[in-house]
Amino acid sequence: MKAIKDQFPNVSDAAWTTLEDWAGRLRDWNEKINLISRKDIDHLESRHLAHCLAITNHLKLMNGARILDVGTGGGFPGVIMAICYPQAHFTLIDSVGKKIAVVQDLIDRLGLKNAEARQCRAEQINKQFDFITGRAVKNLPEYFSWIKGNLRRGERNSLPNGVLYWKGGTLEDEFKALGIRPRKTISLEGSFADPYFEQKYILHFDARDVPRARKPV
């Protein structure tokens, strides 16, 4: 943790303590359920955690902000964000039951009162949220087709309400297929020396643009 701590000045000391606990518990679970590839678990903090924490350098959330993490998998980025933003509420969903069982166990054992995990699809959620997050879940048109009804407009937080999507590679073809572009593209390769972060981005799509997203072909 010490190796990455200086890169995220907005993360509180209390959050770092909880993140230390989280890392140990996730490693224990990863021996039973493959949440992160075996070769990648050695880079849990420097890659997977740092990848998710990068948003803390760009996003401030007001009290009561609501976030839906779709396709959370092992809790990325939802659990990490819930630790860093105790003033906000997080709903983490995935269709895979064994992954949601792990995420709920992490939430319970870390004492995260601001997070809940549910096994379901986004289309089954009848609530609206300030932000919807996803980390390399699906191609953008398919992902947006799931979540279009779950966003509410607003500008109470440091970024306008919308979708925060962690994505890598060449994106132009997906933007064209989607029919909308992000209002903000956060490039991560300039922030980290590790080649892992080359062509990795956090994309912010404004909630006002999302209704115009095209359906997947």
Tens of pLDDT, residues 164-205: 999 999 999 999 999 999 999 999 998 898 999 999 999 999
State the pLDDT at residue 198: 96
Return the structure tokens found at 180: 């909308």
pLDDT in tens, 4-58: 999 999 999 999 999 999 999 999 999 999 899 888 899 999 999 999 999 999 9
Please, what sign has the CA dihedral across residues 80, 209, 181, 124? positive
pTM across the whole model: 0.96
Instruction: Report the SS3 class of residue 127.
Output: coil
Count of structural domains, the chain: 1
pLDDT of 217 over the 90 cut:
no
Q: Which of 187, 186, 124 is nearest to 158 (CA)?
A: 186
d(CA 6, CA 95): 35
32 found inside a domain: yes
29 found inside a domain: yes
pLDDT in tens, 52-86: 999 999 999 999 999 999 999 999 999 999 999 99
pLDDT of 129 over the 90 cut:
yes
> Which runs of consecutive H residues, i.e. helices, occur in the chain?
2-5, 13-30, 50-53, 78-84, 97-110, 140-147, 172-178
State the pLDDT at residue 1: 82
Query: Whole domain around residue 20: which residue ranges?
Result: 2-212
CA 127 to the chain's CA centroid: 18
CATH number, domain at 130?
A: 3.40.50.150
State the pLDDT at residue 6: 94
State the pLDDT at residue 55: 98
**Phi first, then psi: what are they for 154, rounded to 5°?**
170, 160
State the pLDDT at residue 118: 98
DSSP classification of residue 214: P
Backbone Cα Rg of the chain:
16
Q: Residue for token digits 């972060």?
A: 197
**HSE, side-chain direction, 13 A CA sphere, residue 89:** 8
Q: Residue for token digits 């630790």?
A: 83
d(CA 143, CA 136): 10
Q: Which of 155, 160, 107, 151 is nearest to 129 (CA)?
A: 151
Average pLDDT over residues 141-167: 96
State the pLDDT at residue 205: 98
13 found inside a domain: yes
Return the structure tokens found at 145: 């087709």
State the pLDDT at residue 105: 98
State the pLDDT at residue 2: 82
50 found inside a domain: yes
State the pLDDT at residue 48: 95
217 found inside a domain: no
If one counts every other C-beta atom within 10 angstroms of the C-beta of residue 64, the result is 10
Mean pLDDT of the chain: 96
If one counts every other C-beta atom within 10 angstroms of the C-beta of residue 111, the result is 8
